[in-house]
Amino acid sequence: MNLMKYKLWYFLFSLALIIPGSYVLLTSGLKLGIDFTGGSLLEYRFEKQIALEDSKQYGQITPTLSNTYIIRSQPKTKEEVGKIKKELETKFGKIEERRQEFVGPVIGRELSQKAFYALTIASLAIVLYIAFSFRKIPKPASPWRFGICAIVALLHDVLLVIGVFALLGKFLGVEVDTLFVTAILTIIGFSVHDTIVVFDRIRENSLKNIGKKFTAVANLAVVQTLGRSLNTSLTVVFVLVALLLFGGETIKWFTVALLVGIISGTYSSIFNATALLVWWEERLGH
């Protein structure tokens, strides 16, 4: 089974997935939650069914579970929040306060910067780690090419997830928050983990098949690890689907981000990272 024969098709498929989300990301951007913009988030549960969506003067209102609503608004003091609660109780009867979150705009900007720094540092550390780990790969293969290809596959996964959430934000009003950043960092770890498994098998096969064409060695490694990669990913996907169905509104979009990222990470480890490495080595005549 010669999977590397179709590497250009893999690249085109990835581009087809990434381009729509990237276009929306560049033109409209992500819909940032209060974690990044600053503001107040209030969650109330009402004893009876109401139509709180009509009370737009309180902010952006999103229904979650039965008779439960989330209100997002500009930053408010505790006194203003107490006034809102009293007004709602006067209109709709007794309510249960589920959650209160307050984030200032300065803290929101700091979180945005720290999220960017975390992603950058993680990417650089991964390149250095892979280059060091694969330093004994038989020449003319280079450990740096392994590291760079892993990062390209990682960026593929990150861009795909961010693009999906740009589309969700534009058409469904889905906001990104600190849980989204957590999901991205988790996806980075999973993507690189799966890529390293394939790359490590390439290294083993290179030592056993010195003098053999790099394409054949890489294709053999992919075939040998394909079942393992799919089995590992499917177990994670099953858990995430269960969380998506039964985990509640609070972690719904966090789960969606992980689900998209895990599926993308599995694909990119085999059909992007390895295929790109093979293409690169072929261009060098190895």
Mean pLDDT along residues 87-107:
80
d(CA 150, CA 25) in angstroms, rounded, equals: 23
Phi, psi for 59 (deg, rounded to 5): 130, -165
- pLDDT tens digits, 16-52: 999 999 999 999 999 888 777 778 888 888 888 877 7
* Per-residue confidence (pLDDT) for residue 53, from 0 to 100: 67
Q: For residue 53, how many other CB atoms are within 10 A of its CB? A: 11
* Per-residue confidence (pLDDT) for residue 275, from 0 to 100: 93
Mean pLDDT along residues 89-99:
86
Which of 6-15, 175-184, 253-262 comes out lowest in average pLDDT? 175-184
The top-scoring range by mean pLDDT among 13-27, 130-144, 195-209, 236-250 is 13-27
Mean pLDDT along residues 194-202:
88
* Per-residue confidence (pLDDT) for residue 76, from 0 to 100: 82
Report the percentage of the chain scoring pLDDT > 90: 27
Scanning the structure block, which residue is given the tokens 């006067």? 90
pLDDT at 68 over 90: no
